[in-house]
Structure 1
Amino acid sequence: MTADFEGSAPAGRVMSSNSATNPGIFPNGHLGHLNGTQEEALERFKVVLAEKGLWKAGPPASHDDQTLLRYLRARRWIVDDALVQFKDTEEWRAANNIDTLYQTIELEAYEQSRRLYPQWTGRRDRRGIPLYVFEIRTLDSKTIANYEKQGANSTFSQAKTDGKTPPGLLRLFALYENLTRFNQPFCTQLLDREHADVPVTMSTNIVDISGVGLKQFWNLKGHMQAASQLATAHYPETLDRIFIIGAPIFFSTVWGWVKRWFDPITVSKIFVLAPHEVKPTLEAFIDPKNIPKKYGGELDYTFGQLGIPDPAWDGVVRWEKGYNSFPSGPLLWEDVPGEDRLACVRLGAEKGKTQREVICTLPKAFKLAEKTTEEATQPDSVANTATETTATTTDDVSEGTQTTEATLDGTTDETTQTDGAADALEKLNINSEKTNGTTTAEVTTMPTATATAAA
């Protein structure tokens, strides 16, 4: 069983050049690919944030445009709603010293979190978005109880807390900081991807729930609910999609209470794959060389290990001090003084002593493309006319759902992908509703609590 997300085209067509002109498909709604309404919302959002003292134009700006756009997409381009979420996040970050947490977290505490939660494979999907893997069976009740207890009873950073956020969960958010401050900026600078003019602000996740029993799901309920809701609230639109693999037969039982943790946009980004759909569907989104062998690919990756460097980095990344891969720990990018390069710096602490170490440097290759006024303000109606996409929607009366079938570039399923992939991707069924120029979707199958991989 599979489920589509946000009205996008089936997986096999994500590389189509026509995706740039269809308002429901990436990279539309992202920096450099905004229609007139979205451009107007971004400018109004800046004005409102500035009036509230929540944003400064700079240079440099206190928050870049791609970050502001995450909040607007999450709130369907309603500026007032985006303002509420942004303000809540800024207050939460200040109350819990999230910047200090990330810079001073004990490396041992960071590694403990990294090994339990979604882990970067070191690879990307076909659009250059970082690929994460998460095996839920590692989160048994005993492990979680020990994790939360240690977090509550130990000082793992120099950050203060607001007394409201469960202290046992705060270490988890160092991983989200790593995603937004290290991984996404890194992937943005790698220009061997379609839409290299668009900054990377999302992640793709394979979530393996095989071997997880109903009792384990139930025991994880409180922890996963708290983590998911905080992530959805404070790290919006950092998820491109989640592939759920190995769903047990009872999975529909847990869907009723999991569904309430997420907004419809997040829910709509979840694919639940049957065993025969795993390999063809993943290959439609991810090059086989970047898919772990366990899921039918070629990458010799095991959950728990650090990311495996991509040969595509050769000649781009200049390693320092004997490093040849990224280590565990809080990483971020800084300008190299006097050079048009960025340096990856590992921070954190060991036994209370803060560390600072340069891991590598790379060229500052990413440049935002300048768009003409006509392109930037092109209305949806014009964009829709420009695309060669044709779509038909049929009502499935027996199921009470809508199935959207799309064909791009004038090609058919048989000419663009294998029969196996076509069979899997034809099952991406959604209930869609057009709102403010954005398509939201309600998944027709049962997503999992493990959407904490990203929000």
Structure 2
Amino acid sequence: MAPPTSTASTAGPATRTVSKSSIKSTGNVKGALDYGYPHGHLGHLTPEEEATFAAFKTDLASAGLYKPGPPASHPDTVLLRFLRARRWVIADARAQFKDTEEWRQNIQLDVLYDSIDVEAYEQSRRLYPQWTGRRDKRGIPVYLFEIRHLDPKTVTAYEKAASSTFSRAVPNAKTGTKLVRLFALYENLTRFAQPLCTQLTDREHPSTPITLSTNIVDVSGVSLRGYWNLKNHMQAASELATAHYPETLDRIFIIGAPAFFTTVWGWIKRWFDPVTVSKIFVLSHAEVLPTLNSFIHIDDIPKQYGGKLDFNWCQMPNLDPKIRELATWENGYTEFPEGPVYWVPTDDGKRLECLARGSVNKVQRNDKVCSIPVAYPEGPLGHQEDDAAVTAPVLNGNTAAAAAAAAAADDEDEFQDAPEEPIASPPTDDAVAKAVEGLSLQDNKTTVTTAETAVNGNPVGA
């Protein structure tokens, strides 16, 4: 079913509107314009895709994985992501959706996001892609990731800290806890940033919801040995994200690549499916600003990459002026706070309210931050617990919470007593030298195009 046409005003800054013809095709952008948003998204489905989507929902309902409602158990945007990722093959999409639902339940992801310690959440946010507070010209949120902050020493300390109890979610022995905090950040993308950007109508397709992200990945300052040391961590994170958050990525622009990055790229691209690889563009220094500006307005590109946006690593989002125009702040807030936040509809369905969740000093937050008018109503905005669960104080004597804490402590002891997995030896200095030998010293030779990324079979799309 196509989404309802927005009744909100679509007037806005002219610079926000972009069409294929208005994007300049540089060597790295050429070929990227015909793929992805809005094709295959709500409001832009072919008759065949509409029929397949309807059959997919019927199939999920028959399997007990989806309730059409009203209200539906899952929004159309979520279901459609899985179907697009599996190239519209219903059986494959159902299998991936089922695996994801079981994974979410096993790690109690909804409980984790609602009750995670705010400082624990911020420790994760400071190591992974961060929302700049801005959008690209299509209205998709722009994220920045500076890889050099994810050094091996920091990752080791982070993973050790992540093995301890930091929420009401009971750790799952099969999944472990090292990467669980990372997925609270993905929840923030799908339950906060994307729904917020969906309601901003100053874009070319205001009646089509935003379910993607545009990413600037700065790889400057990382040695070849550094990439090798991060290999296991980055591979595990990418595999889980691809499996359980399909079709949340629109583009990755890699900048600051040293000459040896062609060697690193040979490792990295094996961690991703071909569709994801086709969305990754490695830019030379001369290509950075022209390419970014093809997708992102100059005001929304960070200054360090030639734009005008004041945004540095670890800062909270520098909010889009349109957000400030629409938001009605409450309870003393004038910015979105640290920690997990998400949107819930008001009783009359005319506005969305932003709630600050998580815990501070083991006390659950439930602060109303602001509200915005609804331009695109689409039912549930994400996975949510029942009211009794989300309003329970964290570890405050509540019987269920105490039981969960005790189980978590037992699991933590088991984790700490478990033998460490063997770590692959880093390359020797001779191996590093050999890998670098013969590579071009010119950054503009490290361009990756989509020519080598032909899609075979039915890959899982990130």
TM-score by length of 2: 0.76
Letter in 2 for 1:64: P
Contact kept? 1:11, 1:285, Cα under 8 Å: no
Return the alpha-carbon distance in structure 2 between the equivalents of residues 348 and 25 of structure 1: 34
Residue in 1 that maps onto 2:386: none
Residue 342 of structure 1 pairs with residue 363 of structure 2: no
Residue in 2 that maps onto 1:267: 277
Residue aligned with 1:303, SS: coil
Residue 311 of structure 1 pairs with residue 359 of structure 2: no
Return the alpha-carbon distance in structure 2 between the equivalents of residues 59 and 304 of structure 1: 40
Alignment deviations for residues 116-167 of structure 1 (CA, whole Å, 9 cap, x no partner): 1000000000000000000000011110000000111x10011123212231
Residue-pair matches, total = 371
Q: What's the offset of the Cα at 1:427?
A: 8.6
Residue in 1 that maps onto 2:245: 235
Residue 165 of structure 1 pairs with residue 186 of structure 2: no
Higher strand share: 1
Contact kept? 1:76, 1:435, Cα under 8 Å: no
Question: Counterparts in 2 of 1:414-433, with a 5 A limit?
Answer: 429-431=450-452
Return the alpha-carbon distance in structure 1 between the equivalents of residues 323 and 58 of structure 2: 39
Judged with a 3 Å threshold, the aligned counterparts in structure 2 of structure 1 residues 277 and 101 are, in CA distance, closer, same or farther, namely same
Return the alpha-carbon distance in structure 2 between the equivalents of residues 338 and 86 of structure 1: 31
Letter in 1 for 2:60: L
Letter in 1 for 2:331: K
Question: Counterparts in 2 of 1:300-449, with a 5 A limit?
Answer: 300-338=310-348, 340-367=350-377, 429-431=450-452
2:298 maps to which of 279, 288, 292 = 288
Alignment deviations for residues 207-259 of structure 1 (CA, whole Å, 9 cap, x no partner): 00000001110110111011100000000000010000011111121223222
Residue 205 of structure 1 pairs with residue 215 of structure 2: yes
Residue 279 of structure 1 pairs with residue 289 of structure 2: yes
Q: What's the offset of the Cα at 1:327?
A: 1.4
Letter in 2 for 1:180: T
Residue in 2 that maps onto 1:100: 111
Q: What's the offset of the Cα at 1:320?
A: 1.1
Return the alpha-carbon distance in structure 2 between the equivalents of residues 25 and 85 of structure 1: 20
2:53 maps to which of 36, 39, 42 = 42
Residue aligned with 1:164, SS: coil
Return the alpha-carbon distance in structure 1 between the equivalents of residues 22 and 255 of structure 2: 16
Residue aligned with 1:134, SS: strand
TM-score by length of 1: 0.77
Residue aligned with 2:23, SS: helix
Residue aligned with 2:268, SS: helix
Contact kept? 1:11, 1:281, Cα under 8 Å: no
Alignment deviations for residues 311-337 of structure 1 (CA, whole Å, 9 cap, x no partner): 122431111122222111111111223
Letter in 1 for 2:46: N
Question: Counterparts in 2 of 1:189-204, with a 5 A limit?
Answer: 189-204=199-214
Return the alpha-carbon distance in structure 2 between the equivalents of residues 262 and 195 of structure 1: 29
Return the alpha-carbon distance in structure 1 between the equivalents of residues 343 and 188 of structure 2: 10
Letter in 1 for 2:278: S
Residue in 1 that maps onto 2:261: 251
1:151 maps to which of 138, 162, 187 = 162
Contact kept? 1:123, 1:308, Cα under 8 Å: yes
Q: What's the offset of the Cα at 1:354?
A: 1.0
Residue in 1 that maps onto 2:37: 26
Return the alpha-carbon distance in structure 1 between the equivalents of residues 372 and 308 of structure 2: 27
Return the alpha-carbon distance in structure 1 between the equivalents of residues 452 and 265 of structure 2: 17
Contact kept? 2:278, 2:453, Cα under 8 Å: no
Q: What's the offset of the Cα at 1:182?
A: 0.6
Q: What's the offset of the Cα at 1:60?
A: 1.1
Alignment deviations for residues 237-294 of structure 1 (CA, whole Å, 9 cap, x no partner): 0001000001111112122322221111111110100000000000000000000000
Contact kept? 2:274, 2:453, Cα under 8 Å: no
Alignment deviations for residues 40-86 of structure 1 (CA, whole Å, 9 cap, x no partner): 21111111111111000011111111111101111111111111110
Contact kept? 2:328, 2:372, Cα under 8 Å: yes
Residue aligned with 1:219, SS: helix
Judged with a 3 Å threshold, the aligned counterparts in structure 2 of structure 1 residues 273 and 355 are, in CA distance, closer, same or farther, namely same
Q: CA RMSD in A?
A: 2.5
Return the alpha-carbon distance in structure 2 between the equivalents of residues 75 and 339 of structure 1: 33
Which runs of 5 or more structure 2 residues have no equivalent in the other structure?
Answer: 1-18, 26-32, 379-443
Which runs of 5 or more structure 1 residues have no equivalent in the other structure?
Answer: 1-7, 15-21, 369-422, 441-453
Contact kept? 1:191, 1:366, Cα under 8 Å: no
1:136 maps to which of 112, 123, 147 = 147
